[in-house]
Homo-oligomer: A and B are copies of this chain.
């Protein structure tokens, strides 16, 4: 029962499916075609190639034991026939053939298949503006473009760059240009925050602050209206300003590359992704698809979603390989977990952000926690910032997002939550997550457990909170005079603020609050503040007991405000 399997696309999912299938059915014949001559590379490594962390593009194409994954490698090591520079033009599902064309020689060839795999990937979202064809205007969707970008940079052609889009590829590219090459880099973003749809506005402000510390300017709520230049790009014009630019990188999102599937009459989702079942079969059971060209189930909402992520592509590829061999593997869907390094920080997420949860008609509330990433008495440590998004009515955890240093501590916490998120945990499961504890790695009550506890207290109505953005709004309008800030830290911490803002900032340390309760202003709304929100919560409970309930605890405390970049 030797089979002929044809695979269209030889990056990530295609090779993975091919190799898995071949290991299960060594007698099968596999042909894999790709329109490029560069195949089987780690596309997520492109920003690190451009930055110089990865010196040579070939490294992205190597196995971990330094073999180049080229045509010869697939032939000799894998017994897989790879045809590069070969574009698939059309699929004839009745005859089970694919018409291909060699992009250099122009020669057409018809290949037959028993089973077909579509790994056609994604394409960049095009901007409907003039100037996108000028020299120096790039997307970063394939390795050839990345090589061209790096070439121009290393030739000294780029002193000033503009990136369009503050999603994670845009931000990774900003780091790549700034960190090693010292290129002056601006980002233009159409929404009001970085990483829109991925993290909350409050966390986004913290990321933005870090970008600004690294001299990356981000212009929000601005749309690029045209790109100007003679032959080469010179300027980027937005609704609000004109920015000089020797290079423009368009990172305004990507879309499924599903034209071939659409032409073949396969079912395509309204958003353009190829529709597949859990076995990764398209509407034609002899045709599988996966990776950046398909939609899969969002395991939080149950709805189809688009996750162009390399980790998913690889796991889906293995599922397809197993099923090609008659197996019963399934890819359930995704909680959309991701991590990104930006200069000295990492940002990671699984599940829905606060705003996304709202848009999905949940009734979300967020708990926010700032705590050291390991035992607070351990000498090397950093603050970590974590937000848990919870549905108020059910207590279901919908997502988690956070920010930490550039080490592995942040992603390690997200790993734990990502592992259970699809089983719809409640906050008490976060409170009771069993995280290995030792002072060099974690806290006895780790930040994740503490975050679960905080969420539980918020849901129980015991911890009435406000977030940094609400604090900032109030602070701007503080002269209304209805609200004051009660600082629950020791006098040493509070003193400078009390002296600077005597009308708006009072000090009663939490451990003196019972004795000094008479000093608490009773006629105003109180914003309770401490370093991270823990002592101010204790203060709130003491005041609740005394019947004073017009108090709001600033989640994350002064640490959150500082990270936000608020200069008080």
Contacts and interface: CB of A to CB of B under 8 A. Distances in A.
A375 interface: yes
A164 interface: no
A16 B440 contact: no
Contacts of A375: 42, 44-45
Nearest to A415: B416
Interface stretch (A141-149, A219-227, A331-339): A331-339
Given A311-B444, A379-B53, A416-B418, A434 B341 contact: no
A99 to B, nearest CB: 31
Interface in A376-432: 376-379, 406-409, 411-420, 422-423, 428, 431-432
**Chain A: interface residue count, which band?**
35 or more
A422 B379 CA distance: 33
A179 interface: no
A314 B416 contact: no
Contact of A434 (B76, B350, B379, B438): B350
Contact of A514 (B79, B331, B542): B79
Interface string A337-348: 111110000101
A423 to B, nearest CB: 7
A314 B434 contact: no
A67 B493 CA distance: 13
Contacts of A431: 315, 318
Copies in the complex: 2
A445 interface: yes
A404 to B, nearest CB: 9
B371 A435 contact: no
A379 B44 contact: no
Nearest to A383: B64
Contacts of A515: 76
Contacts of A54: 377-379
Nearest to A430: B419
B48 A436 contact: no
A350 B419 contact: no
A116 to B, nearest CB: 23
A545 interface: yes
A555 to B, nearest CB: 16
Given A349-B436, A350-B434, A440-B341, A445 B314 contact: yes
A437 B44 contact: yes
Contacts of A462: 23-24
Most interface-central of A62, A377, A378 (chain B CB within 10 A)? A377
A538 B376 CA distance: 47
Given A337-B435, A339-B436, A411-B441, 7 more contacts: A44-B444, A48-B439, A65-B535, A337-B434, A406-B440, A416-B419, A419-B419
